[in-house]
Chains A and B, each alone.
Chain A
Amino acid sequence: MLKYSIKRIILAFVTTFIILTLTFFLIKSLGPAKIASSKPAEIYSFYETQVEYGYVVKFETMHPELGDFLAKYEPPGTSKAIYYYERPIVDQYFEWLGNIVTKFDWGRSTHIEPEASAIRIIAERLPVSLKINIISVVISVPLGIGLGILAGLKKNTWVDHTISTSVMVFISIPSFVIIIFLLWGLAYNGNLPTKWPTADKSTGVKALGYIIPVLSLSFGSICGYTRFVRAELCEVMSSEYLLLARTKGLTKRQAIMRHALRNAFVPILPSILAEFIGVFSGSMILEKIYNINGIGDLYITSLSAGNAADRDLNVLMVDMAIFTIVGLLAGVILDLSYGFIDPRIRMGEKNS
């Protein structure tokens, strides 16, 4: 078990490393970071920082073999010009890797907050996404499980049919469609705020502001859990050991509480744990539509809606890294927790 866990974690690390390396090269191949300003002083300070970070090299003469120079700066009072060239990407990569390992420095923002550390920008945006996600998980997990149990226990009755049908419908509807209808029904034709309340709003308005994001995130989640729990419970309910439990004299309630639910939850609990890891990534569409300054929205902002000149690639890189790491971590937790929750499952044992 321990050996398997270590192996699994190491594998996740290696995967993360490979993916981030790939992402780095793909992003860097888009071209060097550029600054929007045209003022010599700002250009100078920007490229000096880039030099410091190892993305750019500077020369006092032209070096045509390095390709087109990025910028030319003539310090006032002197006749010498400084030419900035992009550093070879492989060199940049090792520099970048070194900065992350030694200083946990993921580079600086170029457009969103010029000169600010990318990791700080992420840290500023993360709490909002976290709050919304946690609230929605806290609401959707019990609700989803409750509905799933209800449907599973009342299998093939009208309760089950109603729940299953609505789950089928809601799980198919994309989240942005749900947001559209929620906004239309509750905000424009109701009293809820139509966008995320800003910091200066009263507490009441702020609290109301949570309703639409949380609802739109919960819908899919609730449906997913309901379907999952129902399927698992149905399977357990028709198992032989439950029949045995009933025949040896347990009441239906006892049989369900002691045997059915516990066994049904073996695959469900790991996915709940994985879901809690998932709160670290924001929902892009929701955050864009509802003007929430979270990390999903940051992703879009750093992409600048496809406008190449305004892209903030360092921030985008960190954001992508978060999505990747969160996904992989959730996978590891999911796999490992199976072994802890269910002693019957022996992880890593050779399949016979």
Chain B
Amino acid sequence: MKKKEDEFELLNNLPEEARDPEISKDDFKLVTKDTTIHEQKFQTKPTTFFKDCLRRFRKNKSSVVAAVILGLLLLLSIVIPAVSPYDVSAGAANTGFEYLEPKLFNAGTGFWDGTRKYKDYSVDISANPTAKTDEEKQKDWWPNETFVRSAISKKEFSDEKYTDYVSDFGKGGFLRHSILKSIKEEAEYAELRTQEITDVLDLSKETVLITAFDTYDFDKIEKLPDEKLQKFDSDYELAKVGLDLVAIDMDGDDEVKTYYPIIEPKVVHNIGSAVSSMSEETVNVGDALSESGETRTKFERYYFAVTIKNERDEQNKSSLIHSWTFDVVGNDALKAKLCDYVSGDKVNDGASFTDATASGRETLYLDQAKTALNYGYLVSSNAARQLFMSKGYFVSFVYDTYEAKLGTKWKERISVSDLDQWSTAKVTDKNPWGVKLMEYNISTKKNSSGKYVLDTNAFYCHILDERCPLAQELRPEDIYVDPYGISKSNPLGYEVDGYITMYKYYGYEEMPKFLLGTDKNGKDMLKYVFDGLRWSLLLGIISSAICFIFGLIWGAICGYFGGNVDLIMERFTDILSGIPWIVVMTLVVIHLGSTFFSFALALCLTGWIGTAATTRTQFYRFRGREYVLASRTLGASDARLIAKHILPNAMGTIITSAVLMIPGVIFSEATISYLGLGFRNLNSLGIILSNNQPELKQYPYLLIFPAVIIALLMISFNLFGNGLRDAVNPSLKGEDE
């Protein structure tokens, strides 16, 4: 610009005659007399359309960054699933690795170190009624300090409000119960809370309740016929109690008040599963169940579950099932014991209501009530109960999830087959476990009841190698002989108790580190997310490619020929585009199943319309141009005109619209996964997000990372697409921004 002005200046400063010179014919000379000018080579470097685009694209910094991010994500989605050894396939269940927090640094650094913070975790102080000293009491409910990585702060709480709020592990307090004649619908159940309070039981006087329930006549307990039992999980069975009223002498003045049994559908609950539902990883709260461990196989346990729902429930702060548990040995001896059996998953309440183990109890309760009604077993009315004014402790601490899950811990009943596997006797040279299992003999002696007796004195287990999962040498006193199992034909009928280092037990040489933690099935989130990303991208690219090809052909025909052909084809796309994509996808997926193919098909069914419309517009734009006309006059065929003259001009815009389709496809797939129609045996970002949705409250890391990845992917794709559009078609620059 400046240069030009200078030239003008120069021109103005010229003398008069120089400004208007007389020009004769001789002043002109042909530059090249012999050669024609077109034979000369370009002085500048020739550029192609592609190079020109690349040059323009490179100027757009944000698009370049987006492209780099996209490339990186693509690379990671190929490399990580190929390199990482963990199993993340759709059906994978890696026992022992569940819910490990993200870990990069060593535990104790406070950030990204595999620890979980528990805040105001309520602990049960009434869990072990037999404990005499405070220390003894503490032992059962205090968090296992081996795994705690911070100071444990403790504060007592006492909820004095007369509300539904109940501490999970409160002591004492009152049970308020109100009566509703029957449960017919869930709606009525919701109304329970508004019922009038009829009676108040003082829970601190535990004996009162025990006497009260002694009046049950357990001889009248009947089980449901077997065909009905099959309707329930093996853990749950229905039984019928032939009583409907309970008489309780509350204050010893012989005035018996009538109470309704806590709940009528009698659930026979398998003890084993009740215990196992308290996972080791949560703080070990003592429960009265373990007391009866010795003869547990003979027990049948009757749960009378009362769900105490409360206002805070809606905010998922607390929820609790207090159950009264009756141990019935055989069918004659009655041992009624009050046990505030509380689900061990305190921190698992709330958000994970849909999680069957954590808090399916509420639904279970309702289902039972409904089922009981269906079968006519509702023998009494129902009572809604609320506990209040109970006391307990809130503790806050930081818990090392890796040590708790995979560290050294006490394991009851290490199976002999495991021991044998580790023993030198059965290990190949290649991979010696390094454990020496000493000779053991089964004595030929039988005991008084005719069982064989194991000579436990000969049993020793030494650790020879670091890789051995045993953390301590085993001695004869650790041996546990199964009173039923051992025989000459079954010499393995004994087990051993001891300390085991869990990660070695699972076959790792050192403590594994999960950068992004693991989910409820123990899947490594890092690999899971990138594996999902890979499938999402693949689906996006494949369906975009198909849509691109089909849309291009359709749009080209529409746009090039116009007229009636265009009119008819346009009406067709009008109708097709009138169907909401969600309807198309739902119909295709329920017809063809949730496979990769059916998803791609469903996405392509309506996906091509966009490309077709773009192509059509572009063809309309270019088909009337002079150069096309010129070509036509020279006799070019339709195919040649389309392929050689119109398409190259329209290509940039069409390709851009195809690229911008990929994020749309990924979004659609994720949405369908949320509707429960996602891939059955493949991973995808949508599947990961919808599977982990219920865990947002307790394990936010399971959602935050995939959410960030999908957001990053979408932003990058859009930025990249916009940059691409500007690069291939500079005239559109700035549109849609």
Interface residues of A (CB under 8 A from B): 11, 15-16, 18-19, 22-23, 26-27, 29-30, 164, 168-169, 171-174, 176-177, 180-181, 183-184, 187-188, 193-195, 197-198, 200-201, 205, 227, 230-231, 234, 284-285, 288-289, 299-300, 303-306, 308, 311, 316, 320, 323-324, 327-328, 331
Contacts and interface: CB of A to CB of B under 8 A. Distances in A.
Contacts of B589: 306
Contacts of B677: 303, 305-306
Given A30-B591, A184-B703, A323 B582 contact: yes
A113 B172 CA distance: 43
Given A172-B718, A194-B316, A323-B583, A305 B676 contact: yes
Interface string B572-586: 001100111011001
B587 A27 contact: yes
**Chain A interface main SS type:** helix
Nearest to A284: B675
A328 B576 CA distance: 11
Contacts of B719: 168, 172
A176 B667 CA distance: 10
B579 A172 contact: no
B726 to A, nearest CB: 14
How many of chain B's residues touch chain A, expressed as a range? 35 or more
Given A194-B314, A284-B671, A304-B676, 9 more contacts: A27-B587, A164-B737, A180-B703, A231-B735, A284-B582, A288-B674, A303-B677, A305-B675, A324-B583
B689 A180 contact: yes
Contacts of B578: 15-16, 19, 324, 327-328, 331
A155 B659 CA distance: 28
Contacts, number: 139
Contact of A194 (B675, B697, B711): B697
A191 to B, nearest CB: 8
Contact of B736 (A198, A227, A285, A320): A227
Contacts of A327: 578, 580
B348 interface: no
Contacts of A171: 718
27 contacts: A26-B591, A168-B718, A168-B737, A174-B711, A176-B689, A180-B696, A180-B707, A183-B696, A188-B316, A194-B314, A194-B315, A194-B350, A201-B314, A285-B671, A300-B675, A303-B675, A304-B676, A305-B675, A305-B676, A306-B594, A308-B590, A311-B590, A316-B586, A323-B582, A323-B583, A327-B578, A331-B578
A200 B582 contact: no
B516 interface: no
A277 to B, nearest CB: 13
B104 interface: no
Nearest to A37: B374
A285 B674 contact: yes
B189 to A, nearest CB: 11
B665 interface: no
Contact of A176 (B350, B670, B676, B734): B670
Contact of B710 (A177, A197, A320): A177
B714 interface: yes
A305 B190 CA distance: 26
**Leading 5 A-B pairs by shortest Cβ distance:** A305-B676, A172-B714, A172-B715, A177-B707, A173-B711
Contacts of A299: 582, 675
A163 B343 CA distance: 49
